[in-house]
Structure 1
Amino acid sequence: MSNSELRLERNVELSAETKAIAEKELRETPERVREALERLRELLKENKDIYFGDDDELLTIFLRPCKWYPESALALMRRVAEFKRDNASLLDGLVPEHEKVAFLEHKVVNVMKGRDHKGRRLLIVNVGGSWNPKKVNADQLFRLFYLIHLAAMLEPESQVRGTVVLMDFYNMGWSQTMGFTPSFSKRLLTFIQDAMPLRLKEVHFVKQPRIFDVVWRMFKPFIRDKLRTRIFFHGSNMSSLHKHLEPSHLPADYDGQLPAIDYSGADWYPVIDHVMPHIDKWNTYGFVKKA
């Protein structure tokens, strides 16, 4: 497989079908878009304690998951700023180069090269036996998630149709179980539920062994009702997974009709690295630092 098949769909006009979804689910119309962009710019000028860019692309990233309500988009920006502040030790100045080894040498995170049957991006996280927490610890795992979301937020189709996460726990042992800490669990769920400007539609747990219960007990207290309804457990029952993700759009790894995955985060790394200008700008956003 050539890396050219792995690409970010940035600056792509929405398909007619996606436009219809945007209007139905997100209240997206040309007039509402114009009004919301203008109002959010005004709100940013009024709220001088936070700084974000005000170009259409960036503001749309926040407005779409908030259904084009400017005040809600501003609240999301504030939560992003708070999360960046509260996790500065992990996120300040973060760029792909900092986790290059984790991307290139460890097959922990991957993004399906195509979309699922509903046009959504599918992130696959391998935290079973193939994950070595001594080489890629929980903090690094989170940083990988974070860098991937910085790229995914640039895709108009993903902004509208949303994303799906598949957590693969195949051959999980004690070393992987102990790699999950309460602090990691809380940080990840705070990020997903409060500070991620993407529509997370579903989370699927597959091939989880009994030992997974230890991990679940750490995650469960931090999961709110909205996210709870979007989490599904399948174990080794791929027919159960297929009720949500059609086999025609899944690889053979999950009893799908597509070839087995032969690419990894190493192949996606150049794609993420290519959006460095966006990442550099993102690192400047948040609360205005006092002189």
Structure 2
Amino acid sequence: MTTNPFDIDKGPESPELLAIAEKELRETPEIKAKGLAELRDLLKQNPDLTYSEEDEFLIIILRACHWYPESAIKMLRQIAEFRRDNWKILKDLMPEQEKIPFQEGGVVNVVTTKDHKNRRLLIVHNGKDWDPAVCSADSLFRIFYLIHIMAQLEKSTQICGCVCIYDFEGLGMKQIRAMSPGNVQRLLTFIQVAMPLRMKEIHFVKQPFIFKMVWSLMKPFVKEKLNKRMFFHGNNMKALHEFIPPENLPKNYGGTLPEINYSGKDWYPVCEDNHDFFVKYNTFGFKDKA
């Protein structure tokens, strides 16, 4: 087991994780075997799709769909459609293409510890810490997309899901001008229909009054299910603590953990370590027409 806080845990599921999977995802040995077999059959019935049929990959999709094969093949088609519709920024995407924004942009960060429900915490700085001249809206999405690919490899994240904290401290017109309806729609479409991970909660914090302009961009594209998982806290960290206890949050958000002193620069090497999976992921989606 690694002691590097920036590594992802690709080890086998613990008994505790398997118990959560059974309770929340219907995952039992019998349902697992049946789901894998049925999803492979469904892939054969969708010859225009190309995906790995290895257990490791199919389990990622089936866990995101509570082990319902019909839902899983629907998600695979949605992933393919999203990749096709956004091919200009996603085709052959590799971490090295976004290395400078990832390392220097200071926009996206992953908390090194997990929360009380064993969920990964992703922090996105959309306020003063985001300089669109260093990290464009397209780059920001591409970094988010790369992180989600990497997160799929972590068994605990497959099972327990993830939580996103959007920090809007110091939000100004420079950041708002960088957000277009198209960019916002792309992100929300991805989260809601083409991301094979369980997005459990999205928390908006430290948002100033002009955040209403951002929300007016987002609201038309938010579906009911995601809307119920969105929470707005402003500067009231105690409200955030009703969802994530202080002992699982850094000092930046009223927590008892040390203030964050790491960034994408520390996380980027993990992307490089998983180079082969990024290469494989780029082959997924619709088959190229001869």
Pairwise same-fold verdict (TM > 0.5):
yes
1:31 paired to 2:25: no
Question: In structure 2, what is the equivalent of residue 150 of structure 1?
Answer: 149
Aligned equivalents of 1:49, 1:193: Cα separation in 2: 23
CA displacement, residues 191-247 of structure 1 (integer Å, 9 cap, x when unaligned): 000000000000000000011110100000000000000000000010010000110
Give the TM-score normalised by structure 1: 0.97
Aligned equivalents of 1:89, 1:267: Cα separation in 2: 28
SS in 2 for 1:284: coil
Aligned equivalents of 1:71, 1:88: Cα separation in 2: 26
Task: Note if contact 1:161-1:199 (Cα within 8 Å) is conserved in structure 2.
Answer: yes
Where do 1:242-257 residues align within 5 Å?
242-257=241-256
SS in 1 for 2:4: helix
Shift of 1:19: 1.4
- 1:250 alignment partner AA: L
Task: Note if contact 1:177-1:211 (Cα within 8 Å) is conserved in structure 2.
Answer: no
Aligned equivalents of 1:29, 1:145: Cα separation in 2: 31
Identity of aligned residues (%): 51
Gaps of 5+ in 2: none
Where do 1:142-291 residues align within 5 Å?
142-291=141-290
Identify the range of structure 1 (46-55 vs 85-94) with the bigger mean alpha-carbon deviation: 46-55
Identify the range of structure 1 (158-167 vs 131-140) with the bigger mean alpha-carbon deviation: 131-140
Gaps of 5+ in 1: none
SS in 2 for 1:47: coil
Shift of 1:274: 1.1
Aligned equivalents of 2:265, 2:8: Cα separation in 1: 15
Aligned equivalents of 2:222, 2:56: Cα separation in 1: 30
Task: Note if contact 1:103-1:266 (Cα within 8 Å) is conserved in structure 2.
Answer: yes
Shift of 1:46: 2.1
- 2:6 alignment partner AA: L
SS in 2 for 1:210: coil
